[in-house]
Chain A
Amino acid sequence: MNNNETIMEVKNLVKYFPVAGETFGKSSLLKAVDDVSFTIKRGETLGLVGESGCGKTTVGRTIMRLYEPTSGKVIFKGKDIVSAKPNEMKSIRRQIQMIFQDPYASLNPRMTVSDIIGEPLDIHRLAKGNARKNRIHELLQMVGLNAEHATRYPHEFSGGQRQRIGIARALAVEPEFIICDEPISALDVSIQAQVINLLEELQENLGLTYLFIAHDLAMVKHISTQVAVMYLGKIVEIADSHELFANPQHPYTQALLSAIPTPDPKIAKEHKRIILEGDVPSPIDPPAGCRFHTRCRFAKDICAQQEPEFKGDSKHQVACHLI
């Protein structure tokens, strides 16, 4: 692998959505992503975890400029994507692709598999005629399907197979960076492992870099080199995967990890869960100071007043006053 080259750097990324206010005319801001920074090295995987509404999907979509960022930089291979012009964006999107969560909604039901996978080839004018057909067959084989599937429609496939079609479509333009947005959460357990193994093989063979967005922490641990934990639009902790799971520092990360049910009756019996009280506050009016302080077991006065800065070394960073 191309050692240590930073392929993606996200700097102070912010995305606010305007939402209609309680009274007419007054609108307020939903702070979906608020000052998020991380870097990913070529050939590695950053796992982005957090609960629904924490902004992890918005991060992925803003990186691709499916949403225009409110502010911040997304530096891909040394170039800021945020300021790229539309024609530049087209070539950047060839290098960054996305795999979506729902394999039922993300494939056009009226297109054949060959059209679905061939569309990016047509858009980017990569192959025509026989070359196009051969490339489609090659891609199908790469994801564990075969040439005879090309003429069929999405409804003829199972969820796992559809996700393979989505992966083949993403691979068609030979991207370097793939954003996987909950690629397995709609699949059954035995099929999840198939798709994860496929993603790992492709990464090894093609040198791909992944941003892997998910809420299944065990899967994220399995596939990631580095893991970032998000809460209410902010990263609260980021560390090497092994380090984060062995030595979680932030109270939210600790609670999140302890909440995962363990498939082992003996461990489950002895295991004491940290139960968080209440629900996640609204991102429209997030708590001042540390956003987690309203549910934190250890919260002190300072947590409600000041926003915590990141502490730690390059291998493990935590945003918490109490560390």
Chain B
Amino acid sequence: MTALLEVKDLRVSFFIPAGEVQAVRGISFTLEKGESLAIVGESGCGKSVTVQSIMRLLQSPPAKIAGGSILFQGKDLLKLSEREMEKVRGNEIGMIFQDPMTSLNPTMKIGKQIAEGVRMHRKVSTEDAKRRALEMENLVGLPHPERRYDQYPHEFSGGMRQRTMIAMSLACEPKLVIADEPTTALDVTIQAQILELMKDIQKRLDTAIILITHDLGIVADLCHRVVVMYAGKIIESGSIEDIFYNPQHPYTWGLLKSVPSIHSQEKRRLVPIPGQPPDLIKPPAGCAFMPRCKYAMKVCVEHDPADFQINNGHKAACWLLHPAAAAIKEAAELEARA
């Protein structure tokens, strides 16, 4: 069986006056049908650039896709013409953006905005498009769909706008939905509503999801697999169980230990990751995490670590996993998990 989406050695750079920012530096991952994948990492690690490349939304210049391929159902999205790409966007791949305030058209009625995508991609009458839009409003739990159809975005709360975005992204029954920080702008109780909705919809429609977030709690709740990015590379990937219960990369350890848990009984000091991510205009020759890594070795300075396979589906790029570093790794792991 071929994967729904296969990203191979993707490289994306931005050309700015100060030089070439290598935002994504050769990443590969696959996504199966109906699977939900989280991409986590800090601002600037390249997670948004990755999904915007999949949707071909990056403006060029300054952005340039420097290499790699993105196979969606077997066809390379990077080779499609703009015309062909329009048939993919919103139709085969839907997208939910972070900020529902700015991603809706303020001068257009909500119902029309949902119906617009349907009319563009399907040969349907105005009435049928409206019927579909009302159906979608119902699906995402907008109360009084008929009345909501004729309202404008400013009459909606943040949560309702995000429901509208979800309705728009799903109206054409895409096989894949990309959600870029879909709940970051929302309050926790509204976030809970949206997460329940996304879980429910995924179960019912069997849509594959790529979720970008920095909240590990959301990942644990919503996703099957996780890709951890750092400085434009994937440093670890695996199932949520692998990443939460058997993390292998020191950066993943750091991410997990720097957030407090509301379930912990005793109070412990948080363990921050010292320093900050490197400048991607001059990315380091070795491991990009080396300057912040407590366990860095000589090899980390000069050589970028290769991927080490931990088990089927769980990979990490760290020299500690090399057999020669076994003793150091054991000590580091003991300490990191204490």
Which of A192, A215, A221, A263 lies at the interface centre, i.e. has the most chain B CB atoms within 10 A of its CB? A263
Check A273/B255 contact, CB under 8 A, given A188-B214, A256-B189, A260-B188.
Answer: no
B276 and A279 contacting across the interface, CB-CB below 8 Å? no
Name the interface residues of A261-300: CB closer than 8 Å to any CB of B. 261-265, 267-268, 271, 273, 275-276, 279-280
B259 and A193 contacting across the interface, CB-CB below 8 Å? yes
Q: Which of A52, A192, A196, A273 contacts B196 (CB 8 A)?
A: A273
A193 and B272 contacting across the interface, CB-CB below 8 Å? yes
| A51 sits at the interface (CB 8 A) | yes
Name the interface residues of A90-117: CB closer than 8 Å to any CB of B. none
B273 and A190 contacting across the interface, CB-CB below 8 Å? yes
Name the interface residues of B227-247: CB closer than 8 Å to any CB of A. 240-241, 244-245
Give Cα A293 to B216, complex, Å.
32
Name the interface residues of A140-198: CB closer than 8 Å to any CB of B. 158, 160-161, 188-194, 196-197
B107 to chain A, nearest CB (A): 22
Chain A residues with CB below 8 A from B221, complex form: 261-262, 268, 271
Check A261/B220 contact, CB under 8 A, given A273-B192, A279-B157.
Answer: yes
B119 to chain A, nearest CB (A): 30
Q: Which of A192, A265, A271 contacts B258 (CB 8 A)?
A: A192
Q: What 1/0 flags go to B169-206 for Cβ under 8 Å of A?
A: 00000000000000000011111110110000000000
B241 to chain A, nearest CB (A): 6
B188 and A275 contacting across the interface, CB-CB below 8 Å? no
Q: How many residue-residue contacts, CB under 8 A, span A and B?
A: 121
| A259 sits at the interface (CB 8 A) | yes
Q: What 1/0 flags go to A245-259 for Cβ under 8 Å of B?
A: 100000000011111
| A79 sits at the interface (CB 8 A) | no
Chain B residues with CB below 8 A from A189, complex form: 42, 214, 216, 255, 258-259
Q: Which of B43, B188, B192, B196 contacts A217 (CB 8 A)?
A: B188
For A188, the closest partner residue in chain B by CB is B42
B195 and A262 contacting across the interface, CB-CB below 8 Å? no
Q: What 1/0 flags go to B208-227 for Cβ under 8 Å of A?
A: 00000011111111000000
B220 and A222 contacting across the interface, CB-CB below 8 Å? no
A218 and B258 contacting across the interface, CB-CB below 8 Å? no
Chain A residues with CB below 8 A from B219, complex form: 263
B256 and A218 contacting across the interface, CB-CB below 8 Å? no
B271 and A193 contacting across the interface, CB-CB below 8 Å? yes
Chain A residues with CB below 8 A from B188, complex form: 51, 215, 217, 256, 259-260
A232 to chain B, nearest CB (A): 13
Chain A residues with CB below 8 A from B334, complex form: none
Chain B interface: which size bin?
35 or more
Check A262/B217 contact, CB under 8 A, given A193-B271, A217-B188, A219-B260.
Answer: yes
Check A275/B261 contact, CB under 8 A, given A217-B188, A260-B188, A265-B240.
Answer: no
A205 to chain B, nearest CB (A): 15
Chain A residues with CB below 8 A from B160, complex form: 279
Chain A residues with CB below 8 A from B267, complex form: 222
A197 and B272 contacting across the interface, CB-CB below 8 Å? yes
Give Cα A245 to B266, complex, Å.
12
Chain B residues with CB below 8 A from A258, complex form: 192
Name the interface residues of B252-282: CB closer than 8 Å to any CB of A. 254-256, 258-263, 267, 269-274, 276
Chain A residues with CB below 8 A from B187, complex form: 51-52, 215, 280
A263 and B217 contacting across the interface, CB-CB below 8 Å? yes
Give Cα A193 to B258, complex, Å.
6
Chain B residues with CB below 8 A from A217, complex form: 188, 262
Give Cα A218 to B263, complex, Å.
9
B46 to chain A, nearest CB (A): 14
For B257, the closest partner residue in chain A by CB is A193
Chain A residues with CB below 8 A from B256, complex form: 263
Check A158/B157 contact, CB under 8 A, given A189-B258, A263-B261.
Answer: no
| B159 sits at the interface (CB 8 A) | yes
A191 and B193 contacting across the interface, CB-CB below 8 Å? no
Give Cα A259 to B218, complex, Å.
11
For A192, the closest partner residue in chain B by CB is B258
Give Cα A219 to B195, complex, Å.
21
Q: Which of A221, A261, A267 contacts B218 (CB 8 A)?
A: A261
Chain A residues with CB below 8 A from B270, complex form: 193, 196-197, 222
B217 and A190 contacting across the interface, CB-CB below 8 Å? no
A273 to chain B, nearest CB (A): 5
Chain A residues with CB below 8 A from B193, complex form: 275-276
Give Cα A200 to B195, complex, Å.
33
A92 to chain B, nearest CB (A): 32
Check A257/B276 contact, CB under 8 A, given A189-B214, A263-B220, A268-B220.
Answer: no
Q: Which of A190, A275, A276 contacts B255 (CB 8 A)?
A: A190
A-B contact pairs, 7 of them (CB 8 A): A188-B214, A261-B191, A262-B220, A262-B262, A263-B217, A264-B244, A276-B192
B interface with A by C-beta (< 8 Å): 42-43, 157, 159-160, 187-193, 195-196, 214-221, 240-241, 244-245, 254-256, 258-263, 267, 269-274, 276
Instruction: Beyond A190-B272, A259-B188, list 12 extra A-B contacts (CB 8 Å).
Output: A160-B276, A188-B214, A189-B255, A190-B42, A190-B255, A191-B276, A196-B270, A197-B270, A259-B191, A265-B220, A267-B263, A273-B192
A interface with B by C-beta (< 8 Å): 51-52, 158, 160-161, 188-194, 196-197, 200, 215, 217-219, 221-222, 245, 255-265, 267-268, 271, 273, 275-276, 279-280
